[in-house]
Chain A
């Protein structure tokens, strides 16, 4: 009886082995698929509540925005709107929506959808979760007809071509009663971007199909997939095995290892992030209540200048970042060309340890017996440098910084903490020096806004900045640039602001780290990089990386099933081997029983 059942099992398994290749061979016209290995968490596909990096990236390919950022250099480019104009009082913006566009379910895309989306964010607190800050100064948004959207603002606002808000279809979303609870997973999800979401399995994969109704260029392949990895090493292995075609966020070690791997091409892209050294000299809440326990000696601008003169960003880039970064200067990363500022010869606080020592000597900080300088009350100057223990370049940088400051007579204690504890210490002002970083946007406003008095944390710790910058000149320049709709004048304001910030030595910008990526060059010929020169494939402020990906001719981008088949055979052999073994034991056992 038992033997017969096992026999049936064996036959079933045999059928399974034979059918596995058949199952896969059936769909001979295999769709061309671009598979991206990702390590971040993807929390929600609801564009009103999605603010994590990965979620917003998917949002960008699902939904078109009012305007976009050009692939070439991030300059404002048409999106749903093909033309726009601003009134002479700079308070009324009129966007002309291009005609003939369709949602992926065939309904027309009109100005009413745009107005509905903005109004929803302005009136519903939950809908404002992700993008509420874009509409803070909006007065009204109306659609007088199907092709025009009129936005009136309370004050002139320069960021009206950088509204990173996915526009949703009114005919779908107006039926949603509670935006916060809506998962937006009614497949295929009605969208307007180059791809349509057809599956989201949290923690595993996201599948999107090319949208034939998209108004712009059509992708040269059928399907885009994001596959979730929990660790970057496994993702790299997945790339080598061909399970995925693109992997981003490589460490320098992984990047170096993949450089000489056949069929794989690496991409060292200019990054939109700035890493800096925060100097805590004026920690106060947004109501000017002092917080934290910074060393008061940092209030002296001469001390901060000496610190800036003691930091060699070029050496840090070479040694701590393995050369995979651009040396830092202004707050806005160099990749955002127009807005980036770097000091001229007269402004530059050059790395010069002798000059730094002289700065301190002139300011009256004499060295004590052990070579450490004394502050005005006669205590040795020792600063705590808080770093994230999980970030290799921070650990390496800290050692260099400690060495240089030691040479000019400033003691440094490095405190390597967990990233949570670093964030905590930062928001409470419990540090003297801290290695930190921010990711910038094509529009500099977001990066600059963390430098104004109003955006310091409140008494409860609400707020997102950690450097407590508050300077009347910076506040004035910030306001001025935000209301300046003349591009050339605004660029000047933004650069002046960065120059002022640089002169205060509160955030000493160290590096703009490169984005390290790799892809299967045996399957994919090219990607649409942003910016076009030296840009990245993934995590763009656009969708060009995926939209313009070109498969290698005749290559089945799907890859072979050899791995799958071999794997199944191995599994089956193990199962059969185990079965046979058990069977032989059973036989022997029953023979024993008979004795």
Chain B
């Protein structure tokens, strides 16, 4: 109901500003497209310079004979010259075809889609909790700089941040492992039906999520803490206090919204990486996500899978960055003015 009232106001800045906005958006989108193309080229050639031949690696120590090895190589088009392979790849890509995995003999897009939701679930939930926990602790720590709370929360966060993820995961697994599953996302014997399945996934999610939060939340805490500290002496806070507002309200209503700006960029960069998963956490808990798929595709020299994954991961980071940039323009007038 408020829209008609605000619409004329928005129109007021005039066409010049809108043209600037369009140029800004186009510039950002163009940059992202160029980056994506570079990823396509890099991904293709990166896989080719790795030592080892994928077909040889796969068929080594198996009953597959020399004739079948040559046939496999032909099937996957690996016997063609490099430029021809690249052309094939780009043409297929333009048709939205990511190719077929060498190892799994299944379309790459199927494999990626299948691994996408476990990763979104794990890293998404963990990132959300990390953001909430980090921002909350960071605000408190910055507001009461130098207090016991500040020293304790910042110290803990830093210690956890610097712990190797794999090691921390193994420690959780050993210490808490008797209460939680050691593998996977859902037990194959859990009865069908929403409730048992949901609870079982939650049960499986706990330890990997805990590990990921432990290593992630420090960065939000630190950024939030330092930007709160920066805002501490601002005049508008004095004004707010002079109005007679309680300290908590000054913090949450006035300091935090301004201090949040730098964190927005950080959050969106990290949201992009959500899709990349967390290779080490996924490896410790055998969580069937994208990070793990990436790791396997490198280990097996599964070129099509590796290329497809790089593209999806890079795409996610680029898109999220783009959204972050555009959103920042909306929430921070200074970016618009610049």
Contact = CB atoms under 8 A, between A and B. Distances in A.
Interface of A: 16, 19-20, 23-24, 26-27, 33, 37, 41, 43-44, 46, 49, 51-53, 125-126, 128-134, 136, 164, 180-181, 183, 199, 201-205, 207, 225, 227-231, 233-235, 237-238, 240-241, 243-244, 418, 420-421, 423-424, 427, 438-439, 441, 446, 455, 458, 460-464, 558, 563-564, 566-568, 570-571, 574, 588-589, 592, 595
Interface in B92-144: 103-106, 111, 114-115
Nearest to B285: A234
Nearest to B292: A230
Contacts of B51: 418, 420-421, 424
Given A164-B63, A230-B286, A446-B63, A202 B69 contact: no
B173 to A, nearest CB: 5
A392 B319 CA distance: 43
A145 B162 CA distance: 71
Contacts of B115: 203
A228 B61 contact: no
A438 B191 CA distance: 43
A-B pairs with lowest CB-CB distance, top 6: A420-B52, A133-B65, A238-B182, A203-B288, A51-B62, A230-B286
A558 B190 CA distance: 12
A462 B53 CA distance: 9
A475 to B, nearest CB: 16
16 contacts: A19-B195, A23-B191, A41-B296, A43-B104, A132-B67, A180-B75, A203-B286, A205-B184, A237-B182, A455-B66, A460-B79, A462-B66, A558-B189, A567-B179, A568-B199, A570-B179
Contact of A564 (B61, B184, B203): B203
B14 interface: no
Nearest to A273: B61
Contacts of A181: 105
A43 B288 CA distance: 14
B70 interface: yes
Given A423-B60, A464-B66, A238 B183 contact: yes
Contacts of A439: 61
Nearest to B202: A571
A149 B188 CA distance: 40
A180 B182 contact: no
B238 interface: no
Given A463-B66, A563-B181, 12 more contacts: A52-B62, A204-B288, A228-B288, A230-B284, A231-B286, A234-B170, A237-B182, A243-B183, A455-B66, A462-B56, A592-B248, A595-B249
A424 B53 contact: yes
Contacts of A230: 282-284, 286, 292
B179 A20 contact: no
B135 to A, nearest CB: 13
A461 B62 contact: no
Of B104, B111, B189, B284, the most chain A CB neighbours within 10 A belong to: B189
Interface of B: 50-53, 56-73, 75, 79, 103-106, 111, 114-115, 170, 173-174, 177-186, 188-189, 191, 193, 195-196, 199-200, 202-203, 206, 246, 248-249, 252, 282-286, 288, 292-293, 296, 300-301
Contacts of B282: 230
Contact of A461 (B53, B174, B179, B286): B53
Given A132-B65, A164-B63, A420-B51, A227 B183 contact: yes
Contacts, number: 201
Contacts of A241: 177-178, 182
B69 A464 contact: yes
A136 B63 CA distance: 13
A17 B58 CA distance: 46
Given A125-B71, A420-B51, A464 B286 contact: no
A233 B286 CA distance: 11
Of A46, A51, A421, A558, the most chain B CB neighbours within 10 A belong to: A51
Contacts of A595: 246, 249
Contacts of A44: 104-106
Of B63, B196, B282, the most chain A CB neighbours within 10 A belong to: B63
A125 B65 CA distance: 13
A237 B59 CA distance: 31
Contacts of B71: 125, 128-129, 132
A16 B69 contact: no
Contact of B69 (A225, A462, A564): A462
Contact of A462 (B70, B111, B252): B70
B103 A423 contact: no
Of B73, B104, B105, B183, the most chain A CB neighbours within 10 A belong to: B183
A589 B252 contact: yes
Given A41-B103, A464-B59, A237 B203 contact: no
Nearest to B246: A592
A203 B173 CA distance: 19
A180 B104 CA distance: 11
Given A201-B188, A423-B60, A234 B182 contact: yes
Nearest to B191: A23
Contacts of B285: 234
B68 A43 contact: no
A130 B63 contact: yes
B69 to A, nearest CB: 5
A132 B67 CA distance: 9
A574 B133 CA distance: 14
B62 to A, nearest CB: 4
A183 B203 contact: no
A460 B252 CA distance: 68
Contacts of B103: 41, 43
A574 B173 CA distance: 18
Contacts of B60: 423, 464
Contact of B183 (A37, A51, A53): A37
Contacts of B75: 126, 180
A21 to B, nearest CB: 11
A135 to B, nearest CB: 10
A438 B173 contact: no
A129 B79 CA distance: 17
Contacts of B286: 203-204, 228-231, 234
B32 to A, nearest CB: 31
Given A237-B174, A558-B189, A227 B184 contact: yes
B184 A463 contact: no
Given A33-B189, A129-B71, A229-B286, A423 B52 contact: yes
A26 B111 CA distance: 35
Nearest to B198: A16
A573 to B, nearest CB: 11
A51 B102 CA distance: 13
A265 B199 CA distance: 33
Contacts of A564: 181, 200, 203
A438 B63 CA distance: 12
B295 to A, nearest CB: 8
Contacts of B105: 43-44, 46, 49, 180-181
Given A233-B170, A567-B203, A16 B246 contact: no
